[in-house]
Structure 1
């Protein structure tokens, strides 16, 4: 089997979320279903960059699930997987502060991620 179809995507993250991803405690990344993410799939790599810096962390996409909105996403994925440091209501407020209603109307993506395995 080949990884010929796998791609590397570069996405910005705020420091607080980047640190959770780099520690391996954030396993679900939330994004709006923008056209440039519509074909994101398991096996792809995401290179997260701390917004405004050159600091990066690469993760493997293991699953992408689409939801109608952020409430459905948090209920389906579990808030602790999205942000283990905040409760559901805080997370919903934080996500909606980043993505206004017209963006949420595009649909929400739950991107399951994991840090790359070391060694073979």
Structure 2
């Protein structure tokens, strides 16, 4: 899939994570496996937006890996790729504050990303 045929997805992102993505230091995005993300694949483009603003940042999906839960995701992917400014335990607490247990039960996705020109 080249950039002319790549699908573009729009996803909201909190400011603190948006800034890490825009700086290129956050290389793994964490999401619950919602139905609308089930077919996300390498080569797709994600346009992250800070909700309620016009600020966007585009990334290219390099890889999508499913994990049974957030603990396994953090252990397998490495917390430094997800948020280099927080410890593993801090990240787990923050992720679970965003996604309650019933959402986590859907499965989790580690989306490896790189800035898109």
Q: TM-score, normalised by structure 2?
A: 0.96
RMSD: 1.3
Matched, 1:39 2:39: yes
Paired residue secondary structure (1:41): coil
* Structure 2 gaps, min length 5: none
- CA drift of 1:51 comes to 1.8
Which residue in the other structure is 2:89 paired with? 89
* Structure 1 gaps, min length 5: none
Q: 1 CA distance for matches of 2:60 and 2:2?
A: 16
Matched, 1:64 2:64: yes
Which residue in the other structure is 1:77 paired with? 77
- CA drift of 1:6 comes to 2.2
- CA drift of 1:46 comes to 0.0
* Structure 1 stretches of at least 4 aligned residues deviating more than 2 Å after TM superposition: 1-6
Q: 1 CA distance for matches of 2:34 and 2:5?
A: 20
Summarize the Cα distance change of 1:35–1:90 in structure 2 as closer, same or farther, 3 Å threshold: same
Q: 1 CA distance for matches of 2:52 and 2:41?
A: 26
Q: How does 1:1-120 map to 2 (within 5 A)?
A: 2=2, 6-117=6-117
Q: 1 CA distance for matches of 2:82 and 2:49?
A: 18
